[in-house]
Amino acid sequence: MNILLLSRYGRLGASSRLRFYQYLPFLKLRGIEVTVAPLFGDDYVKGLYSGKVPIVSVLRSYITRLRVMLRVKRFDVVWLEKEMLPWLPGWLEFGLFPGGISLVVDYDDAVFHRYDQHQFSWVRALLGGKIDTVMRQADLVIVGNDYLGDRARQAGARQVEFLPTVVDVTRYAVVASALGGPVIIGWIGSPSTAKNLHLVAPVLQEIANSRGARVVAVGANTDQLYGLPIEVRPWSEQSEVSDIQQFDIGIMPLSDKPFERGKCGYKLIQYMACGKPVVASPVGANRVIIRKGVDGFLPGDLSQWGEVLRDLCDDPSLRKRLGTAGRKSVETQYSLQVTAPRLEELLRLVKTI
């Protein structure tokens, strides 16, 4: 079985790395050959985070993608991340896509809201229904949460399957926190999501003052968090697990807006895989991943955020109990070891459609 993977990014892009690349070794062992053709390379991702993306690089990427699309007939299945050509109409994409090739499309965020909720009316008119078109054309739509699945079904997708964004548990070991030091409240993410830390800034300041806690943000830019009591660390794939292992509590504040409801809660799964208790806003997939009082908490306002963080700072046994439960949840529901066989099954089934 030969698959063409049209990912959005190279390995540096989190969505591509987690929804696609981490499965490739397993699929290869199972006799599935995957040819990888990302739209944007790692240089683009670096530029995206720094705010410096050369337009020439983008144009070159689109030309390369168009050339790749001319070769899709050589493959049994096209495995697509979100869309083929961002910011171009769906009719153009599928005008270039030959018939007779099975198409699997994967979504891990609400990319459709970039179009249907755009500030400019002409973008909404031209592209507001684009992702719905892609979903309808696909033989299979794979989604990372219920919000995305509901949209796919409303769009008229033929088959919709849920597959969470997961971790390889062999990479994530539970390491006991150091005794006697300050409690570390940790967050991991990217510059594009670090703004959410401002939602709980007053609480973090109060906890740092009253409990002597340290707050660490991995993957944010320092200037985004200016004035907050937060230690910023650079993210890398090699160090992300060891950074999380140093946390005592993992947090995920999130605003309750349409795009955020499409988030898949991956950082929660990372924290839980390391045996850390989690605290997150009750938005989207967070409400599914966290079992309140079992492996974490879902505070609805700043007062509740302060209450649960103080309780966790003051009670090491509570942190351990919740962290142990979270690790078990990851092992049984949110691990590569569980989802990889399911993905193989879906890809083989779509080939027969």
Residue range 43-62, pLDDT digits in tens: 777 777 666 777 888 899 99
118 and 198 co-located in one domain: no
Q: Does residue 172 sit within a domain? A: no
- Number of folded domains in the chain? 2
Instruction: Give residue-wise pLDDT tens across range 27-44.
Output: 999 999 999 999 998 777
pLDDT: which is higher, 97 or 264: 264
154 and 7 co-located in one domain: yes
pLDDT of residue 53: 72
Give the burial class of 265: count Cβ atoms within 10 A of its Cβ; 0-12 exposed, 13-18 middle, 19 or more buried.
buried
199 and 318 co-located in one domain: yes
6 and 85 co-located in one domain: yes
Percent of the chain with pLDDT over 70: 98
Q: Does residue 179 sit within a domain? A: no
pLDDT of residue 352: 62
For the cut 60, the answer to whether the pLDDT of residue 353 exceeds it is: no
pLDDT-wise least confident of 44-58, 243-257, 277-291, 313-327: 44-58
CB count within 10 Å of CB 132 equals 19
Q: Does residue 310 sit within a domain? A: yes
pLDDT of residue 128: 97
Per-residue confidence band for 194, with pLDDT thresholds at 50, 70 and 90: very high
CA 73/CA 46 separation, integer angstroms: 32
What is the average per-residue pLDDT within 117-129? 97
pLDDT of residue 1: 92
Residue 206's identity, in one-letter code, is: E
243 and 137 co-located in one domain: no
Strand partners, 242: none
CA 312/CA 213 separation, integer angstroms: 11
Instruction: Give residue-wise pLDDT tens across range 4-13.
Output: 999 999 998 9
CA 106/CA 80 separation, integer angstroms: 6
Instruction: Give residue-wise pLDDT tens across range 232-275.
Output: 999 999 999 999 999 999 999 999 999 999 999 999 999 999 99
The sign of the torsion formed by the CA atoms of 305, 306, 310, 311 equals negative
CB 75 within 8 A of CB 103: no
287 and 302 co-located in one domain: yes
Q: 248: domain range?
A: 184-333
Its pTM stands at: 0.93
pLDDT of residue 206: 96
30 and 162 co-located in one domain: yes
148 and 288 co-located in one domain: no
Per-residue confidence band for 86, with pLDDT thresholds at 50, 70 and 90: very high
Structure tokens at 8: 């959005």
285 and 341 co-located in one domain: no
